Structure 1
Amino acid sequence: MKKIKGLRWYMIGLVTLGTVLGYLTRNTIAVAAPTLESQLHITTQQYSYIVAAYSACYTLMQPVAGYILDILGTKIGYAMFAILWAIFCGATALANSWGGLALARGAVGMAEAAMIPAGLKASSEWFPAKERSIAVGYFNVGSSIGAMLAPPLVVWAIVAHSWQMAFIITGVLSFIWAIGWLIFYKHPKDQKKLTDAERSYILSGQEAHHQQDNASKLSTRQILCSRQFWGIALPRFLAEPAWGTFNAWIPLFMFREYGFNLKEIALFAWMPMLFADLGCIIGGYLPPLFQRFFGVNLIVSRKLVVTLGAVLMIGPGTIGLFTSPYIAIVLFCIGGFAHQALSGALITLSSDVFGRNEVATANGLTGMAAWSASTMFALIVGALADTLGFGPLFAVLAIMDLLAAVAIWGLLSNKPLTRCAAYPVTG
């Protein structure tokens, strides 16, 4: 059988495509929001309930999805969740009220909760530690590519046919990918097309807690009781509302604050997501550079990326000070870059700290913390945007990101969890 050189990059490409389609289905609702408000007579607050339904179900399902992935494995577990989100996304076209949309989007959120834990688990299986942040950066770039593709695709579907067609198209695309995942994805130990040299490179470059089956798998209670967990979970709690707000509210913000029509939304709303792509990729390369030039270890290098992203988030926090829509777009671009660089580092930390058979569970739990904050902030935006305005809310997001940087330095130890007979978990 012919061997394929650099197969790990093809595998992360497959993961990235899944993330692209997951975020395409997620952002379809945001781009369609002005049309839905008009045709279904939905208010801003009711739209916030739809966003919150997705976020709440995503939040509650994160640890469950992570646990299922650790039990079923990356291949079967991820395929199962992807098929479900494809079906639920297509079913959104059947909704005829904000309640029906909330129900459908909640179901999509439950299924998509597996997306990031599965991507992280695949990255920990296919990449040595020194390349893992790069791999996570590439699969995380799918989130902003999906969000970037959503405006032109959804607007085209609405103009050419209807808002319902937008959800059907994105659902069908996700279903096709899920079948492809089942066919092509395998663990490096089982992949016959992987060269012996690359297999050795991958496995020898992984930490001990990723090389072994890890029979002493940490329980959920042990994970939750570790300081290392909270050193990741609290910063994610503080930082995630920014990304949730960018994804769900930028099109409606431009529509309400600057009077953008559908074509103008399609023309400009993808730009912050392009810079988010750059943040994912550049943010993935920064930790190795910080290690080389500053002589810091792996975990400290991730902390430095989080700090850099938090400082840059001050940019979109000042949107309320300007009246030009073009300045707003520029500041959103800075925010997209900053958050995705920061987010990639936070997500990767779970694989730096936790073992191969618990990494998806741990990431699911930190994701639950992150998305609980995103859910609450979506409701706050819905309640206050019409009266207080968006400007002060974006300022609050910048402050929260800065607090996330403070929290990660104060809580997260500079070494992974250790295990011993008497004290199975120490931070």
Structure 2
Amino acid sequence: MTSTRIGKIRWTIIGLFVGAMVINYLARSVLGVAAPVILTEQSISNQQYGWITSAFQIGVMLQPLAGYFLDSVGLRIGFAICVVAWSLITMAHGFVNGWFGFAALRSLLGLAEGSAQPAGQKLVAEWFPARERGLAGGIYNIGASLGAVFAPPLVAFAVMMHSWRLAFIIAGAIGLLWALLWFFYYETPARHRRLSEGERDYILTGQEARLAARAEKPSFLELAKRRDFWGIALPRMLADPVWGMLSFWMPLYLARVRGFDLGQIALFAWLPFLAADLGCLFGPAVVTFLQRRNVDLIDARRWAFTLGALMMTSMAFVGLATNPYAAIALLCIGGFAHQTLSVTVITMASDLFRRNEVATVAGMAGLAGNLGVLVFTLFLGQMVDDVGYGPFFILLGVLDLLGAVLLWTLVRKPA
């Protein structure tokens, strides 16, 4: 049965969700791009900026609550509420002064924006058969990179037209418009009026019966006892600091170490995120390539993660590059490698857990990932003035190799 005959509403849904991810990462990336201007204007030190970014990570570490909320309320209403919340908080950034005010807003923003990955995994689990989940997950994660791609030109435009404050207002207003579109268009496959019976049957028959939802709500404690959960969570804890570095610290690194001005940052800082977009598609492509050669789905995902971890070693040489454009190129390889492995391990939640557990598990794994970012950024903020960025790039280059070992060791293939 061809995709044309069965319909393509599921791809329209994932396309709509890409918009949410673009807005989510645009909103969170504006601060990092504007940081060289904001820190100078507001007299904020590197250590205080580390506290600001850490406040965001503390908020986003509450992803398990967001996931449980979405599993309980559903995506249509629950995610609309989350998007409205993060949009209003983003707009509030345009009216704040001082590091403490920024830190307070970043913690609230992290709490609201932490809903995005659990929502994405729940959507993929509900709307796609097993054979398409990896591609669907890769497509919606492109939105994360695109949001970061759009942030540098948005900040440059806002500064030219008014100030950095305008960038936050614009990013928040876009989110409010998207929330209205989501609320009026989205429904579950069982209730969506435009979904044909053929496409509904195609989705349901392609999903594993063992992962069907149960009546009882998921228990945090029971999920935390499963090896599969830790096999996803620990590699994410080791992998996610790369994204924190690219989103929050790369513009400062380019400005203060490589001597880039705001115009050069707007010209070059989006390139690692464009490379990350390609990684979002490369990871699922590797999995599909291996499956066609009779490699089991779980093993195929583990091999894709391992390949990404090997490519990630390029990050260790960023600080050693004498040419700033060579450093940009290495950061691009790091962005590509990160999304190759990140999309792969994130998608595994929908391969291993039941439909009414996926958002909760994705939130719990997100807590681990953002804990990694929190610890990394706290050390970076406190030590960068003394030791420079070089040791941190080396650390980022090797952490995912350990993550690959844990993924192979802890995750069990379903019987």
Give SS of 2:387's match: coil
Q: Which amino acid counterpart does residue 372 of structure 1 have in structure 2?
A: L
Q: Distance in 2 between the 1:153 and 1:284 partners?
A: 30
Q: Which amino acid counterpart does residue 411 of structure 1 have in structure 2?
A: L
Contact 2:133 2:347 (C-alpha < 8 Å) held by counterparts: yes
**Corresponding residue for 1:143?**
144
Give SS of 2:386's match: coil
**Corresponding residue for 2:125?**
124
Per-residue CA shift, 1:398-417, capped at 9, x if unaligned?
1111110111111111227x
Report whether the alignment pairs 1:31 with 2:33. Answer: yes
Contact 1:54 1:105 (C-alpha < 8 Å) held by counterparts: yes
**Corresponding residue for 1:242?**
242
What TM-score do the two structures reach when normalised by structure 2? 0.97
Q: Distance in 1 between the 2:248 and 2:8 partners?
A: 36
Q: How many residues align?
A: 411
Identity %, equivalent residues: 45
Q: Distance in 1 between the 2:323 and 2:34 partners?
A: 24
Residues 7-156 of structure 1 aligned to structure 2 (within 5 Å): 7-59=9-61, 61-156=62-157
Q: Distance in 2 between the 1:56 and 1:400 partners?
A: 21
Contact 2:218 2:360 (C-alpha < 8 Å) held by counterparts: no
Q: Which amino acid counterpart does residue 267 of structure 1 have in structure 2?
A: L
Shift of 1:213: 3.4
Contact 1:138 1:284 (C-alpha < 8 Å) held by counterparts: no
**Corresponding residue for 1:278?**
278
Q: Distance in 2 between the 1:41 and 1:220 partners?
A: 42
Contact 2:7 2:198 (C-alpha < 8 Å) held by counterparts: no
Q: Which amino acid counterpart does residue 301 of structure 1 have in structure 2?
A: A
What TM-score do the two structures reach when normalised by structure 1? 0.94
Shift of 1:182: 0.4
Shift of 1:4: 9.2
Shift of 1:285: 2.2
Shift of 1:49: 0.9
Contact 1:37 1:43 (C-alpha < 8 Å) held by counterparts: yes
Contact 2:24 2:113 (C-alpha < 8 Å) held by counterparts: yes
Residues 91-240 of structure 1 aligned to structure 2 (within 5 Å): 91-210=92-211, 212-240=212-240
**Corresponding residue for 2:384?**
385
Per-residue CA shift, 1:311-352, capped at 9, x if unaligned?
000111111221111001100110000000101011101111
Shift of 1:5: 2.8
Contact 1:224 1:230 (C-alpha < 8 Å) held by counterparts: yes
Q: Distance in 1 between the 2:413 and 2:209 partners?
A: 17
Shift of 1:381: 0.8
Contact 1:4 1:193 (C-alpha < 8 Å) held by counterparts: no
Query: Structure 1's 108 and 218: CA in aligned 2 closer, same or farther, altered over 3 A?
Result: closer
Shift of 1:360: 0.5
Q: Distance in 2 between the 1:139 and 1:383 partners?
A: 34
**Corresponding residue for 1:424?**
none
Structure 2 runs not aligned, ≥5 long: none
Contact 2:18 2:143 (C-alpha < 8 Å) held by counterparts: yes
Contact 1:40 1:97 (C-alpha < 8 Å) held by counterparts: yes
After TM superposition, the runs of 4+ consecutive aligned structure 1 residues lying more than 3 A away are: none
What root-mean-square deviation, in Å, do the aligned CA atoms of Structure 1 and Structure 2 show?
A: 1.3
Q: Which amino acid counterpart does residue 119 of structure 1 have in structure 2?
A: G
Report whether the alignment pairs 1:288 with 2:301. Answer: no
Q: Distance in 1 between the 2:124 and 2:393 partners?
A: 32
